[in-house]
Amino acid sequence: MVGRFPAGELTDDQYQQIVHLNQTSVMEVTRGLLPLLRAAGQAAIVNTVSISALTGGSPGSAIYSASKAFVATYSKALARELAPDGIRVNCVSPGTIATDFHERYSSTEKLEQTRKSIPLQRLGTPEDCAPAYLFLATPLLSGYITGQVVEINGGQLIC
């Protein structure tokens, strides 16, 4: 995420930057790797979405949230399209993860409020997310899983 931009203040350049980072890059990388993935006969694409794809995110993140929802839907469509080629497509959807982004763009009070609302009573870490990527990328573990979004959020969506 490149920042929070209120709807009335979002510039065309900011919009294009968000869409390029979150949508266009996913399509370009996928298109570029498809010949190699098809040649492998058994491959996996694991894209990153966000809890914001389902919730709409915080104020100022409407375009970010919509772009992540695009990636989830695009991945599901790809899963159907590429399954005959032996390519599985899934997503990991992190919840609120303790990262530099939140240190820059979220207040301490907001993060504490979020932490208290999570059933596991903590923010996630990158280390919480990594096993999901490994699981979805490994055919021995997830060879019959495609078109799914795995939520890594400490129960944030069950509240």
Q: What total number of domains does the chain contain?
A: 1
Is pLDDT at 100 greater than 70 in this prediction? yes
CATH number at residue 116: 3.40.50.720
Domain extent at residue 110: 12-152
The reply to whether 1 falls in a domain is no
144 noted as active-site residue: no
**Where do we find the tokens 């919509």?**
66
Choose between 5 and 2: higher pLDDT: 5
Specify the pLDDT at position 132: 99
Is pLDDT at 1 greater than 90 in this prediction? no
Specify the pLDDT at position 130: 98
Categorize the per-residue pLDDT at 87 as very low, low, confident or very high, splitting at 50, 70 and 90.
Answer: very high
How does strand 43-48 pair with strand 87-94?
parallel
Specify the pLDDT at position 39: 98
Cα–Cα distances in angstroms (integers) from residue 99 to residues 9, 85, 102, 111, 124, in the given order:
25, 36, 6, 11, 9
Please tell me which residue in 15, 64, 74, 133 is annotated as part of the active site: 64
Give the angle subtended at the CA of 159 by the CAs of 75 and 144, to the nearest 5°. Answer: 30
The reply to whether 81 falls in a domain is yes
Phi, psi of 77 (to 5 degrees): -65, -40
The reply to whether 29 falls in a domain is yes
The residue among 52, 53, 56, 42 whose CA lies nearest residue 75 is 53
Beta strands of the chain (E only): which ranges? 43-48, 87-94, 149-152
Instruction: Determine the Cα–Cα distance for residues 82 and 76; give it in Å rounded to an integer.
Output: 10
Cα–Cα distances in angstroms (integers) from residue 153 to residues 22, 35, 87, 88, in the given order:
20, 34, 26, 23
The reply to whether 2 falls in a domain is no
Average pLDDT on 132-151 reads 98
The reply to whether 158 falls in a domain is no
Categorize the per-residue pLDDT at 2 as very low, low, confident or very high, splitting at 50, 70 and 90.
Answer: confident
**Taking all residues of the chain, what is their mean pLDDT, rounded to a whole number?**
95
The reply to whether 140 falls in a domain is yes
The reply to whether 157 falls in a domain is no
Specify the pLDDT at position 79: 99
Specify the pLDDT at position 136: 99
Which range among 33-47, 52-66, 94-108 shows the weakest confidence by mean pLDDT? 94-108
The reply to whether 104 falls in a domain is yes
Instruction: Determine the Cα–Cα distance for residues 60 and 3; give it in Å rounded to an integer.
Output: 8
The residue among 6, 76, 84, 13 whose CA lies nearest residue 45 is 76
User: What proportion of the chain, given as a percentage, has pLDDT over 90?
Assistant: 86
Whole-model pTM: value is 0.94
Question: CB–CB of 47/88 below 8 Å?
Answer: no
Is pLDDT at 159 greater than 70 in this prediction? no
